[in-house]
Amino acid sequence: MTHKGKHTICIHDGEIKDTQFGGAVSPIFMASSYPFLDVDSMRYPRMFNTPNQEAIGIKIAALEHAEAGLPFASGMAAISTSLLAFLEPGDHVVFQNEIYGGTFRFANEELEKFGIDYSFTDGIQASDFEEKITDNTKVIYIETPSNPLLTIMDIESIAKLAKRKNLISMIDNTFASPINQTPLDFGIDISIHSATKYLGGHSDMLAGAVVGSRDHIQEISNKGKNLGGNISDFMCYLLERSIKTLGVRVEKHNENAQYIAQFLENHKDIVKVYYPGLTSHPNHNIAKRQMNGFGGMLSFELKDQFNVKEFQKSLKMIKPSMSLAGVESTILMPTLTSHTSLTEEEKKKQGISNNLLRFSVGIENKEDIIQDLVQAIQNQIK
């Protein structure tokens, strides 16, 4: 099937015509009260069916070649609602070993209360997932590229396994964004985003999104009405505005990250660079097959003699930040922030060194980003 161009979808799909004044952009409809004459005509923000919520759903669905889409108030609302929509007491879900910290906590702290059983894989091959599947497994959940080591999973092999075992497959597609990866084309059932990241892209909003078949999205919507993680119409407007430039932003993120990854890989004070666009990445060929671009996220490890915290403080433009995927470059030390709770042994097992930095490459001029990195490295050497 051929699809419309991504940039065109980013700008036009789902837009609401301003029939009153003919304005060029979708109006915001903030109403939480609409006519209620019979059940079929009910509109209410918690029903995911205000004009702006529907408009965003159409746009994100088109971007990922899905039948339907739903916006949420946060990535975690999208993830938790999607999981709870398909898991009943007594069911089991298999998670990839490396997943976003919030999803990991949701699994460990919440699922048991719903009587839902779960396992994490020991590796990233389809066979590692198959090994954990039990008679009551219902869902397989992956994340690629993953955080913070940019591990690449073979999406198609997981989708095939899920189909063969009659399971629902879900992916956290946040790091790739719909521009770089359309998992439904490889047979995945449900693709989820923290729209706080690339879809939003300006570090000024919190939102989530889910896309899938009409039936699956209906089930998630039904569950969402009970859980209430709905997005406001104002945020829908901001998200629509942001997505208009998603294509051009992500292409620039891709270009900058590739250039910087190669520069760092050749730098004498850098031990290792993790980026799926490097031929040295163990799954570069899988990434090439399933991604249109390799994304704006990379990680690198400074040599042992460096004080990584001081290195971060020496940066003049690149900001230390917990979040990622904004137009500005940000950096984070997983062992001091997102992954502090891991023991030394767990860190070692996951390959997360104390000198590792996760770098969200922005869309500034790449020479300026490199200059900032270089001056901070030199500052440490003197």
Ligand X SMILES: *Cc1c(COP(=O)(O)O)cnc(C)c1O
Q: Which of 6, 13, 59, 100 is catalytic?
A: 100
Q: Is the Cβ of residue 100 or residue 129 nearer to ligand X in the bound state? A: 100
Q: Is 331 in the site for ligand X (CB under 6 A)?
A: no
For ligand X, the binding residues in 76-115 under the rule CB under 6 A are: 76, 100, 102
Residue 208 contacts ligand X per CB under 6 A: yes
Q: Which stretch binds ligand X (CB under 6 A): 194-202, 272-280, 357-365, 368-376?
A: 194-202
Is 349 a catalytic site residue? no
Q: Indicate if 214 belongs to the active site.
A: no
Report the greatest alpha carbon distance in the chain: 75
46 catalytic residue (yes or no)? yes
Report the alpha-carbon distance of residue 287 to residue 80 in Å, rounded: 27
The one segment of 13-21, 56-64, 71-79, 303-311 that binds ligand X by CB under 6 A: 71-79
Going across the sheet that includes 190-194, the strands are 68-72, 208-212, 190-194, 168-172, 137-143, 92-95, 117-120
Would you count residue 172 as binding ligand X (CB under 6 A)? yes
43 carries an active-site annotation: no
> Which helix (H) or strand (E) element contains residue 148?
none
DSSP helix, strand, coil percent of the chain (3-state; round to 5):
40, 15, 45
C-alpha distances in Å from residue 114, one per residue of 17, 84, 101, 108, 277? 43, 9, 20, 12, 40
Of 74-82, 154-162, 287-295, 341-349, the window that binds ligand X (rule: CB under 6 A) is 74-82
Residue 276 sits in the site that holds ligand X (CB under 6 A)? no
Nearer to ligand X by C-beta: 59 or 197?
197
- Beta carbons of 194 and 43 less than 8 angstroms apart: no
As a whole number of angstroms, the distance between CA 144 and CA 154 comes to 8
Contact between 75 and ligand X (CB under 6 A)? yes
Judged by CB, which is closer to ligand X: 96, or 196?
196
Number of H helices, E strands in the chain: 14, 12
Alpha-helix runs per DSSP H in 48-181: 51-63, 75-86, 101-110, 126-132, 155-164, 177-180
Is residue 225 a contact partner of residue 47, using CB atoms and an 8 Å limit? yes
Catalytic residue among 91, 172, 233, 372: 172
Q: Does 196 bind ligand X (CB under 6 A)?
A: yes
Is residue 206 close enough to count as binding ligand X by CB under 6 A?
yes
Q: Please, which of residues 334-373 interact with ligand X by CB under 6 A? A: none
**Chain positions contacting ligand X, by CB under 6 A:** 74-76, 100, 102, 147, 172, 174-175, 194, 196-197, 206, 208
